[in-house]
Amino acid sequence: MPRSIFIQAPAKLNLALSVGALNAQGMHPISSWMVTTNFYDDLHLETLPAKSFSLFATIWNKDALRRSEIDWSISKDLVHRAHERLEMFVGHELPVKSRLEKRIPVGGGLGGGSSDAAAMLRGLNELFSLGVSTDDLCAIAATLGSDVPFLIEGGSAIISGTGEEIESLGAPPELHAVFFFPEVPCPTGAVYKQFDALSNSASQLRAIHIRALAAQPSLNPNDPFNDLAEAAKIIAPAMAEDMHEIEQLAQLPIHVCGSGSSLFALCTDPMHASALAEASTTRLHIPAVAVQTTALQPMIPNP
């Protein structure tokens, strides 16, 4: 009999992101405080008979607020690549039917594709009772992208290196926020190139600052910071205009998520977050959703 499982793939939030100068390997070292939120893509997996070809489908969830064309090739799909890498690791096929329902905007700085890949690795490990350790899953995840290893366990963590160094802080602090989704592209590569152009001297990682921030008992709306924010505003001036409009509406600091173009604000409580999301959507016509930080949710297996 086929078995199935349901996995929620959470959006990640960089509460602080410091970026170092380009190194000899052509990479930017980072120091970041990341947390997972209750804004999810949904991944449904079902086993197929032995020797079957695996099947993959990606669609937008009916609740998705900001949609774009799902036009990437299967070879570039992170969920498919995660499936292939795990098959290579265990040395045999894992025939599965995959249906991914996305809510997290593509290319929005919230790690949607990375989270989907991590969900595939976790889901296959559970579905086929593979017994692959968390360390091995993280090692596989590191071959897929810099955010994927963190999203194997989620929660709250200090991320260093190029994403492979993860210092887990356990469950995230209880924070309420709003994600805003401007309709503007903000390509990561272009943002990093602009960041390099703005950095007249070697950029210094603010690791100590980030560690101190993560140790605070509470976080103020102006505490988050992002070294890529100025570069993102230059690359996407329409996003910068949206930031200004939202700041006028919210009377709060508005921050860039990762390399953009999604934005966020910290709120005092769930009612504050819900009211701000509603106001942005109806008055500014910038889709928004109230979220809160959360640990990774358990997978739901079906018989």
So which residues are the catalytic ones? 12, 147
- At 184 the three-state DSSP class reads coil
Distance CA 148, CA 152 (A): 7
CA-to-CA distance for 196 and 129, rounded, in angstroms?
A: 45
Q: Shortest CA distance to 181 belongs to which of 118, 112, 248, 119? A: 112
Lookup result for tokens 């592209």: 185
Q: Residue 17's closest CA among 210, 168, 186, 292? A: 210
| Contact criterion met (CB below 8 Å) for 181 and 112 | no
- Give the separation between CA 59 and CA 269, rounded to whole angstroms: 32
